[in-house]
Structure 1
């Protein structure tokens, strides 16, 4: 079984944001992971925990098991003012999961496609 960790924001914790479209895309991505036979773990960052609690929780998650691929979601990567969080997440993944492929997505619904591409790139190196 291929183990995948998907890191993103919990859309229900983002102030002034309609969580429905992202929550639906997360569900769609989860269904696709299952259909592809990929074991998905979700790590959703609470927007209110950007004060360091998220980093401690992420470090714990990344040391809980070995992942074949880790996806860093678009909200963490694209959000205004979140460059420091993005850098922290990428470094935590690199330090704690050095053998894992790293993937980035355009939306929560296309994560499985990017995981497959990242795993193929890892195989071909």
Structure 2
């Protein structure tokens, strides 16, 4: 799947959440960079009810260290948030709603 298609699907799910009055933002983690740059600022911006961590960094076994970093950053900077996992990029809405 190309990057533009991924972003379009994520935007669609964000719009669905916004349509229900739920504040939601996307923080995209590049696999070739440290995740702090992408996730610390949005996680620290407010208290979150849920953080969805996507399969793009969770499923490929070589990305396990990155996945661990993102989970631990989430625990540190959004300690009150539930953590949810999407099964694919087009079910981020469902993953968030399961934990809200």
Q: Which has the larger radius of gyration?
A: 1
User: What band does the TM-score fall into relative to the shorter chain?
Assistant: 0.7 to 0.9
Aligned match of 2:92: 111
Aligned match of 1:99: 80
Shift of 1:77: 0.6
Shift of 1:56: 4.3
Are 1:66 and 2:47 an aligned pair?
yes
TM-score for the superposition, normalised by structure 2 = 0.84
Aligned match of 2:17: 33
Q: Which runs of 5+ in 1 are unaligned?
A: 1-16, 120-125
Q: Which runs of 5+ in 2 are unaligned?
A: none
Matched residue SS, 2:26: strand
The structure in which a higher percent of residues are strand is 1
The structure in which a higher percent of residues are helix is 2
1:73·1:105 contact (CA, 8 Å) conserved in 2?
yes
Q: CA separation in 1, counterparts of 2:2 and 2:25?
A: 23
Give runs of ≥4 in structure 1 deviating > 4 Å: none
TM-score for the superposition, normalised by structure 1 = 0.69
